[in-house]
Structure 1
Amino acid sequence: MVQSIEWSSGNWHQQPVRAVEDADGGLSVEPQADSDLWRHTGYGFVHDYAPALLVDFPVGSAVEVDFRLDYAEQFDQAGVLVRVDDRNWVKTGVEISDGQPQIGAVVTNEFSDWSVAPVPQWAGREVTVRVSRVADALIVRARPAGEPWQLVRLAPLDGDAPAAAGPYCCSPSRGGLTVRFSGWRQGPADATLHPPE
């Protein structure tokens, strides 16, 4: 059964500038200016500063996060962070790159690996990102409200590694971003990578 997670149940990996729960149960988060998560590849730097609200993420479970895609500046991003430690983590969600929203994932095992695909039609909509943890992998899916799930990534993750997961956001190029998260849930992992035909 999928169950909602209370915002107060999570622990912050890096504190945001501001996190305010509203009357409708959403959580608005403002990350610090120039916040980011990245290791080495292509850019030659290591950044490990982005607010993420995390709970334990065991094998056999899934985490879903909802947020409104109403940001539009270069590299603004929000979604789900799965974190083992500062050298092993996955962030996935929607990032503004090359002038448009891109669904993608950064898979990091000492070095970061970035994949994206444009989703301009998602702008201004509620988006859900879902990450399932199976024996040796993460299955990442996403969708805008009311549409079918789209497979984003299958990524390796050691089943013996303790991990935590939850909503994150960051703004590598500016300050002043605020992301409103409207839901956070945990339940059983997806049973299969591909849905039955």
Structure 2
Amino acid sequence: MTDIPWSAGRWTHPPVRVEERGGDLLVTAAEGSDAWRLTSYGFVHDSEHALLVPFENDSAVEVEFTAAFGAQFDQAGVFVRASDERWIKAGVEFADGSPQLGAVVTDGRSDWSLAPVPDWAGERILIRLSRSGDAITLRARAADGELRLVRVIPFPPELPAEAGPFVNAPTRAGLTVPLHTWRTTPPDGSLH
């Protein structure tokens, strides 16, 4: 396991404010920040605040943050970017009155999967994306719970990509999310 310094990444779109405090990175998102392409809504949003470094095959990236969300679509987690039209955002999003665990996988058009996790409200969350072979495996946990398998996503091994933490606030100003850790590890040894 290797910690990635906050200073190692580059922002896709700079947040309103970034402050280091006690090892955490406090990220304040711009109102309207988000990532989405076309499906169902018809619009393209390419204004996410993602802090990225290269994401090699046969490695994993983990991000921990506190999910203190309260407005529709407040969100944080891990972002993987190969291009403007090919990316993944995986994490916790506040939707329809509850925290939801899920992912948006985009290859020209976005698809969105999610499941309610109301007991994760205000908890410290770990999101882990493991890149191995022709897939990225998404796992997550709250507090000290067990990692749970969320999704297996097709992703070509030869495709260059970057990954790291993201924070978005599609519907409001003033969302600040504390990011606690960002690290790389070996990929998961097996799917189950």
Displacement after TM superposition at 1:124 (Å): 1.1
2:11 alignment counterpart: 12
What letter corresponds to residue 42 of structure 1 in structure 2? S
Displacement after TM superposition at 1:90 (Å): 0.4
Give the distance between the partners of 1:173 and 1:123, measured in 2 at CA.
18
1:102-158: CA deviations, max 9, x gaps?
000000000000000000001111000000001111000000121000111100111
SS at match of 2:93: strand
What letter corresponds to residue 112 of structure 2 in structure 1? W
Give runs of ≥4 in structure 1 deviating > 4 Å.
none
1:40-98: CA deviations, max 9, x gaps?
00000001101111011000000000000111110000000000011000000000011
Give the distance between the partners of 2:156 and 2:144, measured in 1 at CA.
33
Alignment match of 2:68 (pick from 62, 66, 70): 70
Q: Which consecutive unaligned segments of at least 5 residues does structure 2 have?
A: none
Give the distance between the partners of 2:156 and 2:14, measured in 1 at CA.
27
Give the distance between the partners of 1:58 and 1:121, measured in 2 at CA.
33
1:120 alignment counterpart: 118
Q: Which consecutive unaligned segments of at least 5 residues does structure 1 have?
A: none
Give the distance between the partners of 1:31 and 1:164, measured in 2 at CA.
20
What letter corresponds to residue 12 of structure 1 in structure 2? W
Give the distance between the partners of 2:187 and 2:53, measured in 1 at CA.
15
1:40-51 alignment to 2 at 5 Å?
40-51=38-49
Aligned-residue Cα RMSD (Å) equals 0.6
Report how many residues are paired. Answer: 192
1:189 alignment counterpart: 187
2:101 alignment counterpart: 103
